[in-house]
Structure 1
């Protein structure tokens, strides 16, 4: 394809953080359209003529309904609004990730590479007319306010938004920095709606974050942007210097709640750990548009033990990295199953009239599996908490999703290289585990077990984080009265 198939957006529409332009050729969509017509030309036969006749009938139907709506709708409506709505319906009806963008929406989308936009820092997904939170962006007003994945936003500034188009809700949440906004939220297992007032802020792309836990490195990738590959290498180099030249306790790569981003950066990140072989392949409608990307022959860690943290908010580009590292047995995946978005979206600008985001291919892991609608299962299952997972919505739960097809298997290759400790790691925190606090890594059960597993794989002492906890305190029952004791009144 002449345009660059570099976007794997699809989980969220970003409130205050818009999607990036991934175009190497801003006019590439014209080449695509011309080629599609050329390929169709040899098929001009009786069947093709019948198809054209059917198309003309359907376009006549569209025109008739257009005239009826314009003439009879309860309020006057502009032709542009009607056509825009029709375009939205045509694309969103194909799959959850294809859509039409107006000029303003397209301009907003391009902001992501500069990373400055007024908003809340929420990633949201439309679900049957509802607005559901996929995850808050680290460090943003939404994150600080305690908004959680799985929350439903039902009102903005006291006005009900249930049933409204997703883009309308997103527009209302965006706005000038330092302005107030009130959200009404419904949360599972909470009997009353939660009302939170937030102050919009400049939302900047969260950069890679790195920490050193003793001799074990930790790198968090919140999203795959144009600088992710470079930031990863810089973060790793800084960690090795802090550790005295080598991370003897291995590395933990955190992809939890990472909604994805640029395909090119997913390839760069995977190639930083895999020396040779396939990283990912894409298969498009026309075989000649299918592509494959291989590792670049280097491993910045020199085969260091790696643990990757994943969960239901890990989608798209983060699933490509997870799948590649799992298929090559280069890392052990710990956490819960990922979102399951296995499609590629391409941005095709329509000069003067916005752009379309169109699903143009499926992607496949090195072993040839498509994770579309299935997600990537961890090698070691560890839940975040003892409660039901908040990520009850995944790709498979969305309406009219793309079918999973073309892959040669749905399960990862069998692994015989897992460390012995993997069998002994509990799948959920114990009763006496402290309540999770985003600002306290010691309360992050998945992280602590990931650090423990990485250390075990590196052959150093891997203390059990549960061992140091105080004993479980159960409420004591009052002693039963003795038989000859008079009852109290």
Structure 2
């Protein structure tokens, strides 16, 4: 892995520094005699010089080369890209848990900016931006022709400054225009509270450097708050777009005593990696329900897949996003970094969820329209140039894992659809969250079923 990173950084660094292409191309051609590569890189040099000399206005060499590099990377898959120095700094700040902007995770599709998920308690979230929305205009200007990074940079800015965004939403008759005021985004990545004084509810909004430590504090705090002890834990990963791989591993490890958590397979077989759990269960054996939906991606799917394969948790909700690839950020000294897809990851049973997603053990839809109207929700497989699903267990998701083993009647009492006339979901009112209410019902049914043999024995 280090050998590959060094090579990529050296090549990209030479372009970004504006060095003469010829000597580098000659070296590449001599190394293995790749004449085609030599000719193609000469083609780049010829086009670059022609643009510099003939374009209607003078161009900035650095901008031109950075755009070329970004075009090369974004042409590979939806998640590879070039980060200039400013973007790289922003990314580092974001993974530490603080950044400026609107509070949305986005990708690019068909020239538009696609919302993967709004971040809780941010300007975008409060304005009603939803997963699946297409951002078509920023301050009245079309986003078509912009790279994803350019669009993100426009949405970010100083605290207190305003931006107008135009959204196209599935089912809406006309575009939706919103005026948002930028804020310093300090997402509270771990939110928690007790449900009914006996069930711990923990929502993870993303996986940054604070996630695992925040999860530990949350469980410990609620354990102390529960007057008669905890009966179960709900781990809510809905609309969690992912983040750091090491945090996904640590969060999974909190609930597992042993066994594999996740493995990655790269282009070279000797770059494969595997992570295993260490003894110790933060939940101390309590039953766990993991909530997922179409906005649960990447690191969220690693956690859900690991706990599902080990039968440590019941996965409830709807099918996840299906991002089963790993991106490595490779710094280029003095010139930002590249974010490059370097591996696919696999759940403990050998499943690749790339473009397929995690199927829940118990499907529970958030709203009736998802079943009656077939509301589409874009997933990884729908993205342009998404990686294929390959190298994993070649069978339907879930077939490689043990059958869900619950006491009779427990799963059957869970409703798949909200009743007719159910109140609309309000994020400030947990009672309107149908999927959460079914998860709580499942845990209480499970606790009751587990107590019945003890009660019968005591009555004899």
**Whole-angstrom CA distance in 1 between matches of 2:376 and 2:227:** 39
Q: Is 1:110 the counterpart of 2:92 in the alignment?
A: yes
Superposed structure 1 runs of 4+ greater than 6 Å apart: 31-34, 47-50
Q: Determine the structure 1 residue equivalent to 2:180.
A: 198
Instruction: Tell me, yes or no, if structure 1 residue 417 matches structure 2 residue 405.
Output: yes
**Residues 218 and 254 of structure 1 are in contact (CA less than 8 Å); yes or no, is this contact kept in structure 2?**
yes
Name structure 1 gaps, 5 residues minimum.
Answer: 4-27, 35-46, 463-489
Secondary structure of 1:190 counterpart = coil
Q: Tell me if 1:368 matches 2:350.
A: yes
Of 459, 464, 467, which aligns to 2:448? Answer: 459
* 1:261-282, Cα deviation, whole Å (9 max, x unpaired): 1111111111111111110111
Q: CA deviation at 1:406?
A: 1.3
The whole-number CA distance in structure 2 between the counterparts of 1:227 and 1:396 is 30
Counterpart position of 1:227:
210
Distance apart, 1:408 and its partner CA? 2.1
Matched residue, 1:312: 294
Residues 130 and 32 (structure 1 numbering): CA distance in 2 closer, same or farther, change over 3 Å? closer
Deviations along 1:350-403, whole A, 9 cap, x unmatched? 101111111111111000111111100001111111224766211101111222
* From 102, 105, 120, the counterpart of 2:102: 120
What's the counterpart of residue 484 of structure 1? none
**Which has the higher mean CA deviation after the structures are superposed, 262-271 or 453-462?**
453-462
CA distance in 1, matches of 2:307, 2:84: 38
* Equivalent residue for 1:239, pick from 203, 222, 229: 222
Change (3 A) 1:64 1:141: same
Deviation at 1:32, TM superposition (A): 7.9
1:249-328 equivalence runs, <5 A = 250-328=232-310
Farther-moved stretch of structure 1 (405-414 vs 356-365):
405-414
Please, what is the CA RMSD of the aligned residues? 2.2
Cα-to-partner distance string for 1:87-130 (whole Å, 9 max, x where unaligned): 01111111111111111111111112443332110111100101
Aligned match of 1:138 in 120, 124, 128? 120
- d(CA) in 1 for partners of 2:134, 2:348: 36
Using the TM superposition, give the Cα deviation of residue 49 of structure 1 relative to its aligned residue in structure 2, in angstroms: 7.2
Question: Within 2, Cα distance between the matches of 1:107 and 1:366?
Answer: 34
Instruction: Report Cα offsets for 1:283-335 as digits up to 9, x if no partner.
Output: 11222221111111111222211111000110111100000000011111111
Partner of 2:15: none
Kindly indicate which of the two structures has a greater share of residues assigned to helix. Answer: 2
| 1:396-447 residue CA offsets vs partner (Å, 9 max, x unmatched) | 0111122221112342214140453323433221212101111111101111
Q: How does 1:366-445 map to 2 (within 5 A)?
A: 366-388=348-370, 392-410=377-395, 411-412=397-398, 413-419=401-407, 420-445=409-434
Aligned to 1:359: 341
In the alignment, the residues of structure 1 paired with residue 201 and residue 274 of structure 2 have an alpha-carbon distance, to the nearest angstrom, of: 30
In structure 1, C-alpha distance between the alignment counterparts of 2:212 and 2:100, rounded to whole Å: 26
Q: 1:423 to 1:79 in 2, by over 3 A?
A: same
> How far is the alpha carbon of 1:73 from its aligned partner?
3.1
Structure 2 residue ranges without an equivalent (≥5): 11-28, 452-460
Query: 1:61-100 to 2 correspondence within 5 Å?
Result: 61-100=43-82
Contact (CA 8 Å) 1:455, 1:461: kept in 2 or not?
no
Relative to the length of structure 2, the TM-score reads: 0.87
Rounded Cα–Cα distance in structure 2 between residues aligned with 1:424 and 1:89: 52
Q: Counterpart of 1:374 in 2: which secondary structure?
A: coil
Q: Distance in 2 between matches of 1:51 and 1:401?
A: 31
What is the alpha-carbon distance in structure 2 between the residues aligned to residue 262 and residue 158 of structure 1? Answer: 34
Deviation, 1:204, is: 0.6
Task: Between the two structures, name the one with larger relative contact order (CA 8 Å, sep ≥ 6).
Answer: 1
Query: How many Å apart are 1:234 and its aligned residue?
Result: 1.1
On the 8 A contact 1:133/1:153 being kept in 2, the answer is: yes
Inter-CA distance 282–453: structure 2 relative to 1 (3 Å threshold)? same
Q: For residues 211 and 177 of structure 1, do their structure 2 counterparts lie closer, same or farther at Cα, with a shift above 3 Å needed?
A: same
1:335 to 298, 317, 324: 317
Which structure is larger by alpha-carbon Rg, 1 or 2?
A: 1
Q: Distance in 2 between matches of 1:110 and 1:443?
A: 36
**Residues 391 and 207 (structure 1), Cα distance of their counterparts in 2 relative to 1, 3 Å cut:** farther
